[in-house]
Every structure is written in structure tokens, then in C-alpha cells.
Structure 1
């Protein structure tokens, strides 16, 4: 069954009711989130598997002045959840009106009456409702009264402690995408639409697809070996720069610029998913465009060598 996305909790079709659902923000959809979903599936194997999540992330609503921090936006999160076997994603719009809903109404009106859930699962620290007044004890009491099942799942941990989105953000900001990938269960990706840039990459002999970081977390600035999934499902090796391009005195906000190795084609307007594999070097300033061009050539060779053994069949369809 293909996963389905539902964005209006007040208008859920009958075919999507009666599921069992994991509750949370699921930013990153990391191994800890997968552990929660699998625990729910094991508890109620006979029911369709669902997730209840929120968009935007509550922190984006309450602290809009914070720098962007998201690991996954809607499309990437949905794809990651679908890959876990989730059949329904109930994505609730988190606005000021919804944030004022009481914990009681969230359980009764949303989970029970509107979604028709038969069983829910959450982590030990799950909090919900106005001013986060609902907790696991409250959820246990209310689900019992409504004849809904509940599974509270302890966090998945390793020697450093519980897996968490916060921990993965720190790894990416410190320049360790390989370690972040181990905790995500896949390389971290930035998905976005290719926009027109200033064509400097083309003039240097290395045309790039320019993708704004937008609400994504900004990882460590520098040059990365990447793989790029196009809209047609094909995956291509590439080299990407994330930063402010100090050599040309750009001075603008950070952006992602990716050069697809051995690729020729028009990518403007396409939605790409760019997966970071390793940080090749930190961002730095060069003495002129010739020095920059020579370094980009070296970066491209290094990226190709790194990816050659890690992306078998890159350039062919890998849906």
C-alpha cells in the first residue's frame, strides 16, 4: 500500500480511520523514530500503521527568531516515514489556534473522534496540548477511558545516550555527515527547487544547481561529496559547496550549490534531493578565480574518488 498524506485532521476519510499511530515531531526520522514505529507495529501488527505529526515544528511557531534548524521538511519526512512502512501520515497544521487546544481535546477530538485511532505509541517525554500540559501519564489515563491502546516506548540509545534530532544537528554543524548518517539510518539530505543563480559556476567550467537552504539546518560550511536524486529517480554523484562564497565576496545568505559530475542537462525548476556523504574541506577564500577553478577541479576529483565505491550504479535509476 502506498503511503498517504492527510493534512486536515477534521476531514479524514473512512479508509484512513482505525489505524494505529506513533506520535511526535519526527524531525529527521532517525533510528530512534524508527524504533518507535517498529515498537508500535510489533504491539499491533494487524492494523494499518500511521504517524501523527505537526507542521510547522512547534519551535518554528513559538521561536521564529531562531536560526533554521529543521533536518527534514514535509516532503523528505514523508518519504522517510513511508520507507519505514508507514501507510498514513496525519500531518496536523500547528498554528496558534491549534496550539491553544487543551490536552483533553487533543486526545478526545483529534486522536479519538477525528482520526479514529485504535492504539497510539509515544516516547517517555512526549508532551502535548496547551502549554504542553499533557504528558504520558495523562495520555495513559485518557486512552484507557476511551478504549484506545497505548504503548510507551523507551528511547533507543547507544554509548553516547539516546538518539535524538538535537544530537544529529550537532554532528552536522560540526562537519560529521558520516556519523549523522549512522544515526539517521541514511545520509542526510537537503531537498529543494533549483533556482537561477549568477552563472559563475558555468563560467568556471563547473555549472551548479543552486538550492536555497530555506528552513533547513545549515551544516558546517564547506565542500562536500554528495549524491543527487533527480525528479525522475536517477541518482548522480556530485560535489557541493555550502556557504557564502568568500572568494567572490558574495556576502549573501548561505546557499547550497551542487555540481553533478558527468551530467549535462537543464535542472532549473526541478526538485532535487542532495545527500551529504563527507566534508571534503572547510570553506575558505582563494586568491582569485583561477585559484578557485583549480581547487574546484581537485574537489571534483576527490568527490568522484570517494563516491565511486559508495554509489554503485550512480547515474542509473535507483528508485
Structure 2
């Protein structure tokens, strides 16, 4: 299991001397994986580590903005572990941390605090108070302090650099397949199944309801999905993301997943729903009968897409 360290002033001896990839790693996409691989390639003898932040600096500075995260902390740690990372320095980003100068970040945290042997980052990595540090400063100070550094160029595809920002935009525009090609896997929304109003059960389509919470809200509408249950099973299904205009309830967006050929109680259990295909936009129906007929068609479409 990946070791998560929150306090850079209390780093155990076995975590020092690591080859450390730097960044927020929101989504742990294909570009991030290149940075992880570069860190390991430079020092394959060293522990493999990532240094990141919680909360994300944008969440700290702009707490009233809509949620934008592709991944929450638990999901990020799991994705990094799957890529072979053994140590995650998940440092608390608070006011005191935000005031550290770029030089202090290098000297006090990277060098004296965590004792990094080697560093790897993207070419646009910026750090320190008001993002005052760049890779040029990092290279100069790292060399003076005896730390290696690998700067990794952007990983590009035919449409440009692969980035978390680009993936967010694709999801918000309703292109989960294209987002998945940049992530290296489908986008996942993880959460605890909560009680709804059981309306879906009354029309033959019981759903697992998950609040989006701090997750980015993808395009509202219907998706073909797979759900990973907490017992390890993977179940296909169809899901709606949105505010349920036919039912006319509430302003809080959520995910409602109907799992095919599944009969079980998921209330209070954790579920991870992967978005594979966008089927249609969310819309309001004139009656529940009309809604039910559309759900039948959506389910058939989802089954066909997931069979391909």
C-alpha cells in the first residue's frame, strides 16, 4: 500500500532519498505518467515518490469556485500506487505554506525536509509564493544542493499538450471517450451510495445515487457506465448525471446509476462509476411514463455500446 506523508517536518528515514515527481497530478493522466517514469528512470535504485498538495491550491485560493477536481485524494493515491509510486508526500496547503518563497520550498521542503535524491517535473512547473519559482530556479538550486533534476516536456497528441485542463473541458463538453484517451483509462466518479426517493424503483429502474460533491460535474445527461463495487465486482449500467428536471427536485447535481442484472443493497457502500459513452443530454419529460420509455431505450443503447 502506498505510504502517505502529510508533514514534511516528520519524514521517516526510509522515505528519504527518494526520486520525487512534483505536481498536482489531478487525474494522473498520460502526461503525469511520463513524469513518474522519468523520475524512476533517473534513479531506479531510489524509492519512487510524488510530492503533491491537499487541498489543491486552486481550492485554497478560490473556495467559492465550482468543484473542478478530476480526482479526490483517495482516488489519486490509488492511481499513483497503480503506477508504482510507493510514497506520496501529500502536503497540507494552507496560508503558511502559500507564503513560502520558491527558494524556501526547494531548500526547506525538498532538500532538508524530505531529503529528495532526485526530482522530476513538467516543463511548466511553478511553485512558491505567487508561483514565483520555475524550472530554471529549480535546476540551479537543485544542483547546488546535490539533487538531480529531470524536466519532462509536454506529452502531446494531434490536438496539442495533454493536460488536466483539457480533460476537464472534454468531460464538461460530453466527450468521455476522448477524455479517457488522455487519461489512459475512463474517468471515474467515486462516492458513497445515498438514499434517494426510490422513484426509480417504482418504475422498474432502481438506481444507486452518488453526490458529486467535490468532483468536477461532467456534461449533464445519460452515460453508459461500469461500476466497481466495494467487493471488487464490476457491473455494467446506465447513469444520469444532473438535477432530474422531470422530478423537479433540488439544485444539487448527482449521479444516478442503474446497474444491469444487479439485485443487492448498495446503501452506505462505496461505488466507483466509470463513464464510457455519452448517450444524450439531460432533458425534462412530460410524464413518468414518457421518462420510463426513454430510460428503456437508454438502457438498450448503453448495453449495445458496452458490448462493443
Q: TM-score range by the shorter chain?
A: over 0.9
For 1:14-163, what aligned pairs fall within 5 Å after superposition? 14-163=13-162
Per the alignment, residue 214 of structure 2 pairs with 215
Shift of 1:251: 3.6
C-alpha separation in 1, matches of 2:75 and 2:237:
20
C-alpha separation in 2, matches of 1:202 and 1:100:
52
Shift of 1:24: 0.3
Tell me the alpha carbon deviations over residues 233-267 of structure 1, each in whole angstroms, 9 at most, x when there is no partner: 11110111001111111142111111111111111
Per the alignment, residue 239 of structure 1 pairs with 238
SS in 2 for 1:298: helix
C-alpha separation in 2, matches of 1:192 and 1:8:
27
C-alpha separation in 1, matches of 2:5 and 2:206:
38
Matched, 1:10 2:5: no
Per the alignment, residue 303 of structure 2 pairs with 304
TM-score, reference length from structure 2: 0.97
RMSD (Å), alpha carbons: 1.1
Aligned residues: 308
Tell me the alpha carbon deviations over residues 259-314 of structure 1, each in whole angstroms, 9 at most, x when there is no partner: 111111111111111100001111111111111112112211221222124xxxxx
In structure 2, runs of 5+ residues without a counterpart are none
For 1:274-313, what aligned pairs fall within 5 Å after superposition? 274-309=273-308
SS in 1 for 2:252: coil
Shift of 1:104: 1.8
**Where does structure 1 differ by over 6 angstroms across 4 or more consecutive aligned residues?**
none
Shift of 1:101: 1.4
TM-score, reference length from structure 1: 0.94
Shift of 1:95: 1.1
C-alpha separation in 1, matches of 2:38 and 2:113:
24
Shift of 1:61: 0.8
In structure 1, runs of 5+ residues without a counterpart are 310-319
SS in 1 for 2:246: helix
C-alpha separation in 2, matches of 1:126 and 1:147:
20
